[in-house]
Amino acid sequence: MTMSWIEKVTGPLEQKKQYRQAKARLEALPEPYATAAAALNRYLMYHGGVVEGTVMVEMFADLADFWERAAVDATPVRDIVGDDPVAFAEDFARAYGGRQWIDKERQRLLKAIDKVAPREAS
């Protein structure tokens, strides 16, 4: 009973556990991969804006897999992220789709404008 109430407020505890595991995997990477992965993780938390827990957990688990493979292969960080790490991160996030927090705000903006300035019939 208590667990279901807590999960309604905070989200599924299993997803939080999976996210923490993925984050621990990123932190365990050797340098420079750990620093690069941490920076991408932080950016994705802000930019990604994913609101679906399952999508977010999948994205961060895949990010950990990705950087672990790069470390094993000794792939240079710039060979991975290219000249534009922001574009790399945003493309990575886009690959996961899902609903984002901004979707709700887009709809709110459209409704507000339509309310005060309805579109004319063509």
Percent of the chain residues topping a pLDDT of 90? 43
Structure-token match 């493979």, residue found? 69
Nearest-angstrom CA–CA distance, 68 and 75? 10
Output the domain CATH number for residue 46. 1.10.1900
Q: Total domain count for the chain?
A: 1
Task: Work out the pLDDT band at 47, boundaries 50, 70, 90.
Answer: confident
> b/e for 38-72, b at 16 or more Cβ within 10 A?
eebbebbeeebbbeebebbbbbbeebbebbbebbe
Q: Is 6 within a domain?
A: no
Nearest-angstrom CA–CA distance, 84 and 21? 28
* More confident: 48 or 43: 43
Domain that holds residue 47: 11-116
| Eight-state DSSP code of residue 61 | H
Question: 2-14: per-residue pLDDT in tens?
Answer: 556 555 555 568 8
- pLDDT score for 44: 87
Residue 36 predicted with pLDDT over 70: yes
Question: 56-85: per-residue pLDDT in tens?
Answer: 889 899 999 999 999 999 999 999 999 999
List, in order, residues 6 or more apart from 111 with CB less than 8 Å away.
none
Closest by Cα among 30, 105, 27, 87 to 60: 27
Give the chain's mean pLDDT. 84
- pLDDT score for 4: 61
- pLDDT score for 56: 84
Q: What is the mean pLDDT of residues 24-51?
A: 89
Residue 33 predicted with pLDDT over 90: yes
Q: pTM for the complete prediction? A: 0.71
Provide the 10 A C-beta neighbour count for residue 103. Answer: 12
